[in-house]
Amino acid sequence: MPRGSYFKTQSTPERFWSKVQQSDGCWEWQGGKASMRYGRFRYHTSTGEVLHVPAHRFAWTLAYGSIPDGMYVCHKCDNPPCVRPDHLFLGTPGDNVRDMVTKHREPNGCAMTRDKRYARRAAMIDMRQAGMSAISIATQFKLSRQRVHDILTTHGPGHWPHPWMGQPSERVCDCHSRCCVEARRNKRQDA
């Protein structure tokens, strides 16, 4: 079969769903994957443009229509390769952070203050999306504008930016709070 003819023999939705393993639970994406195990789907638009999109976002679009600007497609099941439409929901970046905190999926960090940092970050994201300037947010939280920028553009709260180094199993932040000091002490004892 000549290169590219595969795209002409199946419609885009047929091609998409042919890459999904359906079951009673999650519908796992079997095609290409990007970082964090999220599926990636390549398709041609009606104008001939080639787009690469997250598979779960494409599944949402097929099932429910377009995604409003600034909205995330989040997983109820917390399974990145899942594309089952009833396992997905729309949310703001702040909703996504709150969902992560309530399900205890946040990355390692200082356990004593982690929830407060996530709540602060979620509040900052919501304020920024509501049109509030970084300077106004910084004033309200008594932080520098640069610190607010770092918090809003970092993937996780940790101690901004990410406090950990090395492999995920070695992640321990370098603050001096009791939980982190104990974690470092336990790590030394295990070695």
Give the model's confidence band at 24: pLDDT under 50 very low, under 70 low, under 90 confident, else very high.
very high
The predicted-structure confidence for 83-93, as pLDDT tens digits, reads as follows: 999 999 999 88
In contact, 60 and 88? CB cutoff 8 Å: yes
In contact, 38 and 53? CB cutoff 8 Å: no
Q: Could you tell me if 53 and 79 lie in one domain?
A: yes
The predicted-structure confidence for 46-87, as pLDDT tens digits, reads as follows: 888 888 899 999 999 999 999 998 899 999 998 889 999 999
CA–CA dist 185, 179 (Å, integer): 10
CA 37 from centre of chain: 11
What pLDDT score was predicted for residue 102? 79
Distances (CA, A) of 48 to 7, 19, 43, 51, 53: 11, 22, 9, 9, 15
The CATH number assigned to the domain holding 16 equals: 3.90.75
Give the model's confidence band at 188: pLDDT under 50 very low, under 70 low, under 90 confident, else very high.
low
Q: Which of 129-133, 150-154, 156-160 has the lowest mean pLDDT?
A: 156-160
Residue-range definition of the domain harbouring residue 45: 6-91
